[in-house]
Structure 1
């Protein structure tokens, strides 16, 4: 176990009791209300199964079609209509199987995933769940969140943060039938890491390592693309404060992508917004005074004696 500096905000990096090969269930395209999809066997072999019944074996290149009809999932391939099911699964029967998932309705880009697939009929759409080895899930998250061209030590640090964040939130979606979603609500997960094998190696080299606070509770391992030069304390964003999430100056972000941004809004729209939120002083202020420029992080827009 390695510890940070002593004090109220001390954190510890330690080996968690989590099996490296433990799978995790990830909800795919959960916010897109999927009603039609195509699944391709990209690597290895699968059993297409409904409960204890194996309907077919899928080999590399095989395709099945899934449609949501009358509260059930209809399953077809080029030669067979397998019927309607409340739950259908692709279960890998070979080492390191992978499948490509293409959403037809709504139309979305296809993605390749390691592991298995479970499809469950809901009231209005299908729920798609990828059961994947936890380390491979983390490698996919690291590449989605951190890119594919960084240094090995960056990937190790990112893997530890992603692992800590995932383990702290493993039950976030349990009422929906899976552990984590594939969006930024949990962590971005866009399918199999196919770009840099060093990323999976970094995950494996840090297997089980997480970050905890001085009470041995997993920290909220929040991270960002770019801080803009200064982070915010937890109480400025959430309802409660956290010792280890405090505002600090971050000069390392200033010359990196996304450090600065700008937006443009018409004076009349901006004035209407301010008035709608109770800033009556905007009625008597010249429009050039309402221009916003931040040289440092500000929480409130201040105008005369009003703030928002």
Structure 2
């Protein structure tokens, strides 16, 4: 063996690759390799276009349009607790972003644990004013990939909110047909006009509702914050490049409601800003909101109909609001 060892000769590419492979195996005996691998479809993307990590990340990323692979080495001295930002298109062809939170706690078989997000779109309720209706009367669900249909549910004639209960890990596209009333007062009498809205959505890998709409719903996205005075911040910086509109969620007439949750739904593409303002009977300025409310919560949107959250005018500093009580 020693006679064949030629220390002064050049090392060939094959010999170096073999040496490197054996060295990596020795290193990895003391450094566990933790993996995360999913297809774009499993993550809720039609196609992946970009994946980034935070600065000074301990993660290594490789991806194609259809697949993502993440790995990191862990030697027992530190915890990996990081976000990965995935960008691409959703199942409807719209731009989509997911901020996936990974750590190496409670891992099994050297796999990363994904921290699930709490997103209101997973359960809860949505106010009917989002669909420019005053009340909810019924709904119907259908899974477009399997054809599975959910039982129709009817409610009171003038229910102001829609209850939502779904398994957020179910990534199939759901077509949700919502039925309700648009109410007007004519000669002192409340008139109801029936309205039906079809709505399509699914949930991505972290349980975030992804809708077939251009407008976005940022409620539940902790990068955004709405102050009690109506200012909107993104990652701690005040947003000044767009105009915001303030919509009274409830009014004394023609029909009051009490629910201020908007779940993960966003405005449908056929609804314009002008129609939204007309429905709420306002020009969208805080100063135009009536001073008397049964429950003075206000929805904050921008000119592109993106939703940022709600504020309670009783806590704001720009005026005193009086509650109407029976």
Give TM class, smaller chain: under 0.3
Which structure carries more helix by proportion? 1
- Higher RCO structure (Cα 8 Å, ≥6 apart): 1
Q: Decide which structure has the larger Cα Rg and report it.
A: 2
TM-score by length of 2: 0.24
TM-score by length of 1: 0.25
